[in-house]
């Protein structure tokens, strides 16, 4: 799911991010999880350049994230790996996770310089020879090109590596640049989906109902519309429901959202009583009904988020309470009139003109 924020204003905590990190967050690429589309692309990069290792690397303010990765399987495990997905391939190259500090490798240099980089033998370049990946991973040759999106932001690289020195040549340099350009079609697709979502959220911001979008099994808040923020307060980006809204969490909303995410079916939570988050002079207890609807990925069909819509039923609740109070008064009056009838006097209920025979 794409990370989004209310069009009425940014969540707190996002002001210090670079434009690159904001773009990655918006595109849903700001984490190091495997992505099959990018894994396949990394395999294509390795095949075209005849390099044993290839990556599609996105770089934020804190780390490098290998959303696409191709490393050849261990020779002894080739048969076992034959039916595995790209993300589950065996590793003959000691890279235990799909992330790396900014101090490691050469992709951060490509991003900073906004230009391709070809290193035939890293040890021949004093500027790069001391990089940790040389000693820790045995990298001896590198070829990478920047990924420049349609906003002219460099969001990462396509790169290939070798553990032996090699002459990349102009042809391989041109190949890696073409691969970077080709990969932008996938980025544009995600960007178009983001634009469509932003239009939808702009419409949500005009809704009179509180609307909230959460992501993943942890129910992290990705979006809250203006009405939601006005009623319950503005959430902290990417926090859980219980942490952002203790009242709602205590009332069972986080459990209801988790159930919708787990079962794939909509859940309804009624009679949630919360203290209004509006200015002190207007504070009062309100009663809400929440509908939690699971959202599915268009590609996989798996549930990847939950859309929660609240409805203020305070007035309805008050009407029910008033009717209940009136009914109790009527019963009490009827009972009193019933007792009076034993004395031979007719019973009159309210001003309705209803006469109960004695």
pTM of the model: 0.58
| Per-residue pLDDT at 315 | 77
Pair 53, 161: CB distance under 8 Å:
yes
Q: How many CB atoms lie within 10 A of CB 2?
A: 21
**In angstroms, rounded to a whole number, what is the distance separating the alpha carbons of residues 263 and 270?**
19
Secondary structure of residue 252 in the 3-state scheme: coil
Q: What does 92-148 look like in DSSP terms, one character per residue?
A: SS---SSEEETTSSSHHHHHHHTS-EEES-GGG-HHHHT-HHHHHH---EEEEEEEE
In terms of Cβ atoms closer than 10 Å to its own Cβ (0-12, 13-18, 19+), residue 79 is: exposed
**In angstroms, rounded to a whole number, what is the distance separating the alpha carbons of residues 58 and 33?**
11
Q: Which parts of the chain register pLDDT below 70?
A: 1-15, 74-94, 236-238, 276-283, 298-299, 317-358
Of 57, 43, 123, which Cα lies nearest the Cα of 89? 43
Q: What is the b/e burial string over 323-343, where b = at least 16 CB atoms within 10 angstroms of the residue's CB? A: eeeeeeeeeeeeeebeeeeee
Of 69, 70, 51, 54, which Cα lies nearest the Cα of 172? 51
Which tens digit of pLDDT belongs to each residue from 179-200?
Answer: 999 999 888 888 887 777 778 7
| Per-residue pLDDT at 285 | 80
**In angstroms, rounded to a whole number, what is the distance separating the alpha carbons of residues 312 and 208?**
10
Strands (E), 163-266: 211-215, 220-224
Separation of CA 89 from chain center: 26
Residue 2, Ramachandran bin (φ over 0: left; ψ between -120 and 50: alpha; else beta): beta
As beta bridge partners, residue 154 has 148
Of 204, 199, 237, which Cα lies nearest the Cα of 221? 237
| Per-residue pLDDT at 238 | 63
């Amino acid at each position: 799911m794409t990370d989004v924020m209310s069009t009425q204003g940014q969540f707190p905590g996002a002001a210090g991010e670079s434009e690159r990190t904001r773009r990655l967050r918006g595109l849903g690429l700001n984490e190091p999880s495997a992505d099959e589309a990018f894994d396949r692309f990394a395999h294509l990069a390795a095949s075209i350049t005849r390099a044993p290792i290839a990556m599609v690397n996105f770089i934020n303010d804190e780390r490098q994230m290998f959303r696409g990765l191709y490393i050849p399987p261990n020779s002894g495990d080739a048969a076992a790996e034959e039916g595995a997905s790209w993300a589950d391939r065996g590793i003959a190259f000691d890279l235990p996770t799909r992330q790396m500090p900014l101090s490691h490798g050469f992709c951060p240099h490509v991003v900073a310089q906004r230009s391709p980089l070809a290193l035939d033998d890293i040890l021949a370049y004093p500027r790069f020879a001391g990089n940790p990946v040389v000693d820790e991973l045995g990298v001896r040759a590198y070829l990478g090109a920047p990924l420049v999106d349609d906003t002219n932001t460099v969001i990462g690289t396509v790169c290939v590596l070798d553990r032996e020195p090699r002459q990349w040549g102009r042809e391989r340099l041109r190949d890696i640049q073409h691969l970077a350009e080709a990969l932008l079609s996938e980025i544009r697709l995600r960007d178009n989906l983001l634009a469509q979502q932003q239009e939808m959220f702009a419409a949500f911001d005009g809704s009179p109902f509180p609307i909230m979008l959460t992501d993943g099994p942890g129910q992290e808040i990705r979006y809250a519309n203006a009405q939601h923020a006005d009623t319950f307060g503005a959430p902290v980006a990417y926090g859980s429901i219980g942490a952002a809204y203790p009242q709602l969490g205590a009332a069972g909303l986080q459990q209801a959202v988790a159930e919708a995410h787990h079962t794939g079916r909509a859940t309804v939570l009624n009679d949630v009583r919360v203290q209004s988050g509006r200015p002190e002079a207007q504070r009062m207890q309100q009663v809400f009904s929440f509908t939690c609807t699971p959202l599915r990925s268009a590609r996989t069909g798996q549930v990847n988020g939950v859309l929660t819509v609240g409805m203020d039923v305070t007035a309805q609740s008050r009407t029910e309470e008033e009717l209940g109070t009136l009914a109790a008064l009527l019963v009490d009056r009827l009972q009193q009139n019933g007792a009076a009838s034993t004395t031979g006097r007719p019973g009159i209920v309210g001003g309705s003109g209803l006469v109960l025979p004695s």
